[in-house]
């Protein structure tokens, strides 16, 4: 998917949330997907929006490591400064345990590469950020 975003740079969490809402639009999602956008050093978004389709319910450590390697490669070889991420899935807007697992795994894997951007979640009626409290509210036995 390519789109052209000539608008303002993404510099704050509110800017990023607004961009995700703009990209995700109205309606729901028929499949689980992880979305990546690519920002340059000035916070300008590249024309490429990359979906990672059909992700499993729970994060797979090898898949998470592969995503982290891909982002590192984009930064090193292509000059991308930051790669914000959004998890989308069908269903209600309440954050599930599996959503939390994905957000925690991605946050942990990418904390050294891009500590600035929180992970977002898009569902049928809402685009929202995983707040720090959302990331600690996981039952380790579940």
- HEC sequence for 5-29: CCCCCCCCHHHHHHHHHHHHCCCCC
pLDDT in tens, the chain (142 residues): 334 445 689 999 999 999 998 888 776 677 899 999 999 989 999 888 899 998 999 999 999 999 999 999 998 888 889 999 999 999 989 999 999 999 999 999 988 776 678 899 999 888 999 988 877 755 544 4
- 49-85 pLDDT, tens digit each: 899 998 999 999 999 999 999 999 998 888 889 999 9
**Core vs surface per residue 75-97: b (16+ CB within 10 A) or e:** beeeebebbbbbbbbeeeeebee
pTM of the model: 0.86
Bin 43: left if φ > 0, else alpha if -120 < ψ < 50, else beta. Answer: left
């Amino acid at each position: 998917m390519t789109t052209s975003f000539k608008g303002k740079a993404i510099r704050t969490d509110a800017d990023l949330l607004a961009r995700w809402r703009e990209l995700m639009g109205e309606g729901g999602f028929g499949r689980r997907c992880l979305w990546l956008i690519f920002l340059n050093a000035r916070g300008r978004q590249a024309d490429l929006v990359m979906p990672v389709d059909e992700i499993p319910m729970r994060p797979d450590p090898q898949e998470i490591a592969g995503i982290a390697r891909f982002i590192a490669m984009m930064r090193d070889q292509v000059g991308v400064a930051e790669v914000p991420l959004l998890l989308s899935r069908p269903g209600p807007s309440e954050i599930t345990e599996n959503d939390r697992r994905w957000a925690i795994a991605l946050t942990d894997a990418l904390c050294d590469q891009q500590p600035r951007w929180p992970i977002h979640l898009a569902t049928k009626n809402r685009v929202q950020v995983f707040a720090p409290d959302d990331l600690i509210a996981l039952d380790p036995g579940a």
